[in-house]
């Protein structure tokens, strides 16, 4: 599978990133941010989909400091337990450093037009919100990010477009947290937050236990529009 190596900015080593190229360049780039299952088949498929839309997609291995090359699914309790253990031991600030390093690397890659955004899912959705408050990404897209209600103090640092896809029945985001998020970003012109009724966490993971074709199609259409506007 196509991978490149990126140097960590703290001098601690390097990490791999899955790379999917579009048919035509120059093109904008999207840093794909993994769920708690690593750079697995689902994340590679999503990266290929972004490349199909005409963008460079790059998905870094954020768990490399714990164990490089993690690829889990949502298909068994053992894998869920392993994924949660990795997430709980994950240094999110180091993850943001690695995402910034990926963003900088892809912007100067041959074929990139210099524009780059992020798109994250689950844990990656949380990190996409953090990238909106802590990086110079041209846009950021958060699919069912977890724990964002605890990050709202940084909302005033958001200066580039942020698109948030929120599941109404997300088992990891209680109603009170969802309402706090919506209230927190209300009135911010850079932020568009959409709630998808009747769907659970991970509704846009094709083949996953909560896949919902209609909600995913609507969300992905909004995603495509934002990427085309910000990165073309």
pTM summary value:
0.97
170 is catalytic: yes
Q: What is the pLDDT of residues 26-81, one digit of tens each?
A: 999 999 999 999 999 999 999 999 999 999 999 999 999 999 999 999 889 999 99
**Confidence at residue 1, expressed as pLDDT on a 0 to 100 scale:** 56
- The 10s digit of each residue's pLDDT in 155-167 is 999 999 999 999 9
Catalytic residue among 61, 200, 201, 212: 201
Digit-coded pLDDT (tens) for 156-207: 999 999 999 999 999 999 999 999 999 999 999 999 999 999 999 999 998 8
Catalytic, out of 74, 138, 170, 200: 170
**Whether 201 is catalytic:** yes
Residues facing 141 on adjacent strands: 119, 163
Q: Is 46 exposed, middle or buried (0-12, 13-18, 19+ CB in 10 A)?
A: buried
- In terms of Cα–Cα distance, which of 44, 39, 48 is closest to 15? 39
């Amino acid at each position: 599978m196509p991978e490149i190596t990126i140097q960590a900015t703290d001098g601690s080593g390097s990490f791999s990133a899955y790379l999917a190229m579009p048919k035509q360049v120059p093109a904008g780039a999207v840093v794909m941010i993994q769920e708690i299952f690593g750079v697995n088949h689902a994340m590679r498929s999503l990266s290929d989909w972004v490349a199909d839309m005409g963008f460079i997609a790059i998905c870094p291995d954020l768990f490399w400091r714990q164990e490089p090359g993690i690829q889990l699914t949502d298909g068994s309790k053992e894998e869920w337990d392993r994924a949660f253990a990795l997430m709980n031991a994950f240094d999110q600030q180091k993850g943001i450093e690695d995402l910034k390093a990926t963003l900088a690397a892809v912007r100067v890659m041959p074929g990139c037009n210099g524009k780059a955004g992020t798109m994250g899912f689950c844990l990656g959705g949380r990190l996409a919100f953090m990238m909106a408050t802590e990086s110079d990404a041209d846009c950021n897209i958060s699919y069912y990010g977890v724990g964002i209600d605890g990050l709202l103090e940084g909302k005033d640092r958001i200066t580039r477009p942020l698109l948030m896809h929120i599941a109404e029945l997300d088992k990891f985001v209680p109603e009170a947290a969802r309402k706090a998020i919506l209230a927190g970003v209300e009135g911010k012109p850079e932020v568009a937050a959409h709630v998808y009724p009747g769907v659970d966490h991970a509704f846009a993971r094709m083949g996953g236990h909560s896949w919902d074709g209609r909600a995913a199609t609507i969300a992905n259409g909004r995603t495509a529009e934002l990427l085309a506007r910000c990165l073309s």
